[in-house]
Amino acid sequence: MNNKKPLEHPRRPAVFFDRDGVLNVDTEYAFEIGKFVWINGAIEAVKAVNDAGYFAFIITNQSGVARGLFEEKDVHLLHQWMASQLAEHGAHIDAFEYCPFHPDGAVERYRFASNRRKPKPGMILDLLNRFPVDASKSFVVGDKPSDVEAARAAGLPGYLFQGGNLRNFLVPLLGQSK
**pLDDT one-digit tens code per residue, 111-165:** 999 999 999 999 999 999 999 999 999 999 999 999 999 999 999 999 999 999 9
Q: What is the pTM of this model?
A: 0.91
Question: Has residue 68 been placed in a domain?
Answer: yes
Question: Has residue 52 been placed in a domain?
Answer: yes
Question: Has residue 22 been placed in a domain?
Answer: yes
Give the residue-averaged pLDDT of 87-97: 98
Question: Has residue 2 been placed in a domain?
Answer: no
* Sheet with strand 95-99: strands edge to edge: 95-99, 55-61, 14-17, 139-142, 158-160
Question: Has residue 104 been placed in a domain?
Answer: yes
Question: Has residue 178 been placed in a domain?
Answer: no
CB 102 within 8 A of CB 66: yes
Q: Domain containing 107: what range?
A: 14-170
CATH of the domain at 68: 3.40.50.1000
Predicted local confidence at residue 29, as pLDDT: 72
CB 93 within 8 A of CB 46: yes
CA dist 146 and 152 (Å) reads 10
Question: Has residue 125 been placed in a domain?
Answer: yes
Question: Total structural domains in the chain?
Answer: 1
Mean pLDDT of the chain: 92
- The angle at the Cα of 121, spanning 116 to 124, to the nearest 5 degrees, equals 90
* pLDDT classification of 31: cutoffs 50, 70, 90: confident
- The active-site residue out of 18, 94, 143, 147 is 18
Question: Has residue 175 been placed in a domain?
Answer: no
Q: Establish whether 74 is a catalytic residue.
A: no
Give the residue-averaged pLDDT of 77-100: 97
**Cα 170 from chain centroid (whole Å):** 14
CB 67 within 8 A of CB 28: no
Q: Establish whether 18 is a catalytic residue.
A: yes
* φ, ψ for residue 14, nearest 5 deg: -140, 150
* pLDDT classification of 177: cutoffs 50, 70, 90: very low
